[in-house]
């Protein structure tokens, strides 16, 4: 089902504000903000955000396809998005992601850096609220979907927080970490709840778990063979505006993003080409790319390569270019 209603924008401020806010819960935000935090702020903060983000998003995506609550009817609402319209509504994973990322960032940094706690709390609240409101404005969720998503994410944060340090330590030091980080997400992706029709939730979940798996293997590898995560060498001493010049911050970011995007493009082309050869379909065949035996491996390998590149290859390149 597509977006068939015609509409007239009467308030461009709200229109662009909430269209932008909606993007803060999508891939374009994840692929920029999470690596930026790792390259320029603090490795430990980035690790904790990725752990929370992947767990929260998996639970949210699976919950949608188990509950099968429909999205708002159109009409009366006008839907400003088309891609996610095929998904179910409850809970809002945009609301879950925004709540998880903003508040895990606040919790992870409040004891490491000196800044007004009230300011950090307000920033996390405003960020998550804007994303939640964007889902109502774009007609993609009901109020209950959004509240449910935010509450589920908050509960998961409370439950995960006491185990943060333990999970982080195990992922950095356990010899089984690389195997666990790859096998468990793959098993979860291949055993994703089945629907009567195609929905992008399985592909999106595979993307998230793949990126987290690649990043986790990178964290472990760095801790084993590069600077230990506990020595302080891999942890930034402060926020970028304080600890280094904006030139170095921007240089690290743009070099890193360029490499990450190039990795995504190369791996996607290679893996799809190999799968197309194996299962005898043209790369541009959208229906074939949605099949389980194609979608899961191509998205998992592509985005695990992205996560690994962001945590291992890009920092090595930064060091080689003198950007550290």
The answer to whether residue 106 sits within a structural domain is: yes
In terms of domains, do 147 and 183 share one? Answer: no
318 has pLDDT over 90: no
Instruction: Report which of residues 245 and 206 the model is more confident about.
Output: 206
| 106-110, 236-240, 267-271, range with greatest mean pLDDT | 267-271
Catalytic: which of 43, 141, 169, 318? 141
Catalytic: which of 43, 94, 169, 318? 94
In terms of domains, do 139 and 4 share one? Answer: yes
For the question of residue 94 being annotated catalytic, the response is: yes
In terms of domains, do 155 and 143 share one? Answer: yes
Residue 111 pLDDT level (bands cut at 50, 70, 90): confident
Where in the sequence is the domain holding 279, given as residue range(s)?
A: 165-226+241-323
For the question of residue 43 being annotated catalytic, the response is: no
Distance CA 214, CA 226 (A): 17
239 has pLDDT over 70: no
In terms of domains, do 182 and 129 share one? Answer: no
Distance CA 104, CA 164 (A): 10
Q: How do residues 85-95 score in pLDDT, each as one tens digit?
A: 677 788 988 88
Domain boundary among 161, 181, 212: 161
Q: Which of 136, 134, 142, 3 is nearest to 74 (CA)?
A: 3
The answer to whether residue 232 sits within a structural domain is: no
In terms of domains, do 212 and 94 share one? Answer: no
In terms of domains, do 4 and 50 share one? Answer: yes
pTM equals 0.83
In terms of domains, do 97 and 208 share one? Answer: no
The answer to whether residue 283 sits within a structural domain is: yes
In terms of domains, do 275 and 152 share one? Answer: no
In terms of domains, do 82 and 197 share one? Answer: no
Sign of CA dihedral 217, 222, 228, 229: negative
In terms of domains, do 92 and 181 share one? Answer: no
In terms of domains, do 222 and 126 share one? Answer: no
Given a contact cutoff of 8 angstroms between Cβ atoms, the answer to whether 93 and 64 are in contact is yes
Distance CA 103, CA 153 (A): 10
Which residues make Cβ contacts (< 8 Å) with residue 287, sequence separation at least 6?
none
Q: How many domains, the chain?
A: 2
Q: How do residues 12-65 score in pLDDT, each as one tens digit?
A: 888 888 888 888 878 888 888 888 888 888 888 888 899 999 999 999 999 988
Residue 259 pLDDT level (bands cut at 50, 70, 90): very high
Distance CA 306, CA 233 (A): 23
Distance CA 76, CA 65 (A): 24
Residue 153 pLDDT level (bands cut at 50, 70, 90): very high
């Amino acid at each position: 089902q597509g977006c068939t209603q015609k509409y007239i924008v009467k308030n461009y401020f709200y229109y662009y504000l909430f269209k932008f806010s909606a993007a803060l819960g999508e891939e374009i935000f994840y692929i920029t903000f999470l690596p930026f935090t790792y390259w320029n702020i603090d490795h430990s903060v980035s690790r904790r955000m990725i752990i929370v983000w992947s767990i929260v998003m998996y639970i949210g995506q699976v919950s949608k396809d188990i509950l099968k609550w429909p999205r708002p009817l159109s009409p009366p609402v006008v839907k400003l998005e088309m891609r996610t319209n095929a998904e179910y509504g409850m809970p809002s994973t945009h609301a879950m992601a925004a709540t998880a990322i903003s508040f895990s960032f606040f919790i992870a940094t409040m004891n490491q850096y000196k800044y007004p706690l009230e300011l950090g709390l307000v920033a996390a609240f405003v960020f998550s609220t804007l994303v939640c409101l964007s889902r109502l404005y774009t007609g993609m969720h009901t109020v209950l979907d959004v509240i449910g998503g935010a509450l589920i994410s908050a509960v998961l944060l409370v439950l995960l927080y006491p185990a943060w340090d333990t999970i982080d330590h195990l992922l950095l030091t356990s010899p089984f970490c690389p195997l666990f980080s790859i096998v468990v997400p793959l098993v979860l992706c291949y055993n994703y709840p089945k629907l009567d029709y195609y929905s992008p939730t399985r592909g999106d979940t595979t993307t998230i778990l793949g990126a987290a798996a690649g990043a986790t293997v990178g964290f472990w590898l760095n801790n084993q063979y590069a600077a230990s995560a506990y020595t302080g060498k891999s942890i930034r001493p402060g926020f970028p505006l304080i600890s280094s010049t904006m030139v170095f911050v921007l240089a690290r970011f743009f070099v890193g993003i360029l490499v990450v995007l190039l990795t995504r493009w190369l791996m996607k082309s290679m893996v799809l080409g190999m799968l197309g050869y194996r299962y005898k379909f043209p790369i541009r065949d959208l229906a074939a790319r949605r099949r389980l035996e194609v979608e899961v491996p191509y998205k998992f390998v592509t985005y695990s390569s992205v996560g690994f590149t962001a945590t291992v290859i890009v920092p090595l390149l930064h060091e080689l270019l003198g950007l550290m």
